[in-house]
């Protein structure tokens, strides 16, 4: 409600996609999980909720979590997280995520996707847009999701709560709440013409509509008939799915995407130096960001070069 954001959860089909290479999934900017349909499933949701409960416990906090009535959302008892399940068929009216948060993140993601396509078309004039889209890896998508989520302002999140009638204190002046309108969630209108053109060519719709193109994509099993059968049948199906998911954990998604190449520390330092020179000579707006990256990199080098030693080492 105040705009605080947790790390996104990304669900793929393969436990170890080829594009990950030697990357430690724990160091990704998202939490990555996998099952054979890339769906949210009850065990995964329960695991995520228990992890959130542990986080809140460490921070000595108690929170209320709004959930819709999707079958995969478990009604479990936790110490620091309480649930409020929304009434059926009210998600679009009272769920803040559906009031603009999801839309804003999707549009930011699609903008990055289109920018990438344009850059690749410029670098490789013979490659077509659909071909470039096919070559996008889940690792690329993960970085774009993380960036889109990071760019989403806390004010936008709070306003989405306000749009659903849940007004944070800091959006309230006296007895009158801050007015929240649909225009607060409209995408910026200063997009380059090339991006608008590519959106039409690749997706056959305007860029402002890209957040809706995957609305019908299932993200979990919403078939209530599944749960209205005898318990032994349900358990048998769930055990079968679990076994298939366990097997998928060892699969590598060979989509033809190469894993990132290992870059040495000296090569990385050289690249940063070149970027700084480029910013100074060509685009000084980048300079501050590049200097911040250099500072972080220098700290990394210093921390990694410091090794714990014994006092006897000084007398050798």
Please indicate, yes or no, if residue 291 is contained in any of the structural domains.
yes
Residue 75 has pLDDT above 60, yes or no: yes
Least confident of 18-32, 82-96, 207-221, 251-265: 251-265
pLDDT (0 to 100) of residue 116: 92
Tell which wins on pLDDT, 247 or 168: 168
| Per-residue pLDDT tens digits for 2-59 | 889 999 999 999 988 989 988 888 889 999 999 988 999 999 999 999 999 999 999 9
| Per-residue pLDDT tens digits for 133-152 | 999 999 999 999 999 999 99
Residue 165 has pLDDT above 50, yes or no: yes
Please indicate, yes or no, if residue 273 is contained in any of the structural domains.
yes
Least confident of 31-45, 148-162, 184-198: 184-198
Please indicate, yes or no, if residue 300 is contained in any of the structural domains.
yes
Task: Give me the chain's average pLDDT, please.
Answer: 80
- Which of 47-61, 70-84, 127-141, 197-211 shows the highest mean pLDDT? 47-61
Please indicate, yes or no, if residue 73 is contained in any of the structural domains.
no
Helix (H, G, I), strand (E, B) or coil at 199: helix
Please indicate, yes or no, if residue 17 is contained in any of the structural domains.
no
Got the DSSP string for 215-281?
TTS--S---GGGGGS-HHHHHHHHHHHHHHHHHHTT----SSPPPPPP--HHHHHHHHHHHHHHHHH
CA 57 to chain centre: 24
Which of 150, 214, 169, 234 minimizes the C-alpha distance to 2? 169
Give the range of the structural domain holding residue 275, as residue numbers without chain letter: 265-308
pLDDT (0 to 100) of residue 7: 94
The number of distinct structural domains making up the chain is 1
**Average pLDDT in the 263-280 region?**
82
Contact 205, 195 (CB under 8 A): no
Residue 249 has pLDDT above 80, yes or no: no
Backbone angles phi, psi at 172, to 5 degrees: -115, 130
Please indicate, yes or no, if residue 6 is contained in any of the structural domains.
no
Helices (H), the chain: 42-58, 91-94, 101-123, 129-135, 138-151, 154-163, 193-203, 231-248, 265-281, 287-305
Percent of the chain having pLDDT more than 90? 29
pLDDT (0 to 100) of residue 307: 55
Contact 255, 19 (CB under 8 A): yes
**Taking the chain, what is the end-to-end CA distance rounded to the nearest angstrom?**
60
Please indicate, yes or no, if residue 280 is contained in any of the structural domains.
yes
Structure tokens at 156: 């936008």
The whole-angstrom separation of Cα 301 and Cα 294 is 10
pLDDT (0 to 100) of residue 148: 94
Please indicate, yes or no, if residue 296 is contained in any of the structural domains.
yes
Helix (H, G, I), strand (E, B) or coil at 259: coil
**Average pLDDT in the 82-86 region?**
90
**Average pLDDT in the 98-125 region?**
91
Res. 176 pLDDT band, cuts 50 70 90: very low
Q: Is the pTM of this model over 0.85?
A: no
């Amino acid at each position: 409600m105040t705009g605080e954001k947790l790390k996104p959860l990304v669900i793929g089909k393969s436990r170890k996609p080829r594009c990950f290479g030697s990357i430690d999934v724990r160091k990704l900017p998202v939490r990555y999980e996998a099952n054979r349909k890339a769906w949210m499933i009850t065990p995964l949701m329960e695991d995520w909720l228990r992890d959130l409960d542990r986080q809140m416990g460490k921070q000595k906090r108690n929170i209320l979590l709004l959930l819709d009535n999707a079958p995969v959302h478990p009604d479990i008892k936790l110490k620091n997280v309480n649930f409020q399940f929304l009434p059926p068929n009210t998600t679009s009216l009272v769920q803040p995520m559906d009031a603009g948060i999801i839309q804003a993140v999707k549009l930011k993601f699609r903008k990055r996707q289109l920018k990438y396509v344009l850059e690749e078309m410029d670098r490789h004039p013979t490659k077509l847009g659909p071909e470039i889209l096919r070559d996008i890896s889940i690792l690329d998508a993960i970085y774009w999701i993380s960036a889109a989520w990071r760019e989403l302002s806390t004010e936008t999140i709070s306003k989405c709560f306000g749009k659903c009638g849940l007004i944070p204190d800091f959006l309230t002046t006296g007895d009158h709440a801050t007015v929240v309108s649909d225009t607060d969630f409209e995408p910026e209108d200063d997009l380059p013409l090339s991006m608008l053109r590519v959106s039409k060519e690749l997706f056959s719709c305007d860029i402002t509509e890209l957040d809706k193109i995957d609305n019908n994509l299932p993200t979990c099993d919403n078939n209530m008939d599944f749960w209205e059968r005898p318990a032994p049948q349900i358990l048998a199906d769930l055990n079968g799915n679990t076994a298939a998911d366990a097997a998928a954990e060892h699969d590598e998604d060979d989509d033809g995407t190469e894993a990132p190449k290992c870059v040495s520390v000296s090569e990385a330092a050289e690249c940063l130096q070149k970027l700084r020179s480029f910013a100074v000579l060509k685009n000084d707006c980048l300079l501050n960001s590049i200097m911040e990256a250099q500072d972080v990199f220098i700290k990394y080098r210093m921390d990694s070069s410091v090794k714990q030693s014994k006092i006897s080492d000084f007398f050798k």
